[in-house]
Structure formats: structure tokens, C-alpha cells
Amino acid sequence: MAQILFNLFVAFTLISAAGVVVNKNAVNAAMCLLLALVGVAGLFVALNAYLLAFLLLLVYAGAVVALFLFIVMLLDTKGDQRPGLKHLSLVARVLAAGLVGVGFYSFFVRSRLPEPALSAPSAALGADLKLYAYQLFTTYLLPVQVIGFLLLAAMLGVIVLSKKFENTEDAS
């Protein structure tokens, strides 16, 4: 059952990530990015990495994607405008297809990774999470607050730079 759930999360994440790349509309691409991040968080949960899943949802899905959506909607970008770089686009497509081919080749040629030795789950898992939380809110509180302040300053800067001023001339 766990393997089926893991494979479903993999398929969901890959389809959502493809939606990010294929969508012309930036808002739809950001929503697909949000779904891809939720899929990756599901993969972390399936691998018993609950803290990573929570931090991924909190930081990336909760803050970064919301900020990205806010900025895209504020700037009112149009998805129909395409630059005329057809030759560069062709080279990028061929290079990407080659890299994906090399990845599939190495995946199928190499043998699977060895299974890790299963051990009894630690009873102190909650203690480890308490240690992370303690360090986050004591030792690393200032860096977290500074990063939040920098994100706020960047958002305010985008608002100021994207504001459209009407031509106002003095009537003197």
C-alpha cells in the first residue's frame, strides 16, 4: 500500500511540474507549482520526513508561491507575448530531451539502490522535533526574522516599482 501511495505522489508531482512548464498563463503555472510542492510534501510524508514536509508547505507553498502569485497579479503580465528566439528554443529542447534520455538510461541500466536496514523507530522522534523547534525559535530566530523582513521589503519594492503613475503636468 505504501508503494502504491508513493507512486501516486510521484505521478501527481510529475504531472503538476509539467503543468508549470507547459502553462502560458503565469497564474496557472504558479498554481501548478503549488500542486507540485504539495506532491513533494506528500513524498516527504511517505518517507517519514514529517518536518521537511511541514517546512516545505509552510515556507515554499505558503509564502513563496503566495508572494509569487501576488506579484504576478500585481504586474498584470500577459502570457501571449513570446520572444522570437526560435533557434535558442530548439537548442534548449534538444538539450533537455538529451538530459532526460541520459537520466532514463542511467535509471534503467543501473541496479536499484540497496534497501536500507530496517530498525525500530526511535521513541525520541518527538524529542528531535522539540530540539529543532527550540533551535528555530531561540538560536535561529534572528535569521528567520531578517529573511521575513527582506521578503517584506522586496514585496513593497515591487509594489512601488509597478505602480503606474499618470502623466501629471503642472498647470502653471
- Percentage of the chain surpassing pLDDT 70? 76
pLDDT tops 80 at residue 165: no
Which CATH code, of 1.20.1740.10, 1.20.120.1200, 1.10.10.60, 3.40.50.1000, is assigned to 1-80?
A: 1.20.120.1200
Local structure of residue 80 (DSSP, 8 states): S
pLDDT greater than 60 at residue 86: yes
Which of the pair, 149 or 78, is modelled with greater confidence? 149
Q: Is the dihedral of CA 99, 43, 56, 140 positive or negative?
A: negative
pLDDT at site 168:
58
Domain boundaries, the chain: 1-80, 125-163
Helical residues (DSSP H) of the chain, grouped into ranges: 2-22, 26-46, 50-55, 65-75, 86-109, 125-137, 141-162
User: How do residues 146-163 score in pLDDT, each as one tens digit?
Assistant: 888 887 887 777 777 777
- Against a cut of 0.75, is the pTM above it? no
Three-state DSSP state, 24? coil
> Taking the CA of residue 168 as centre, how many other CA atoms within 13 Å lie in the half-sphere pointing to its CB?
3
- Compute and round to an integer the Cα radius of gyration of the chain: 22
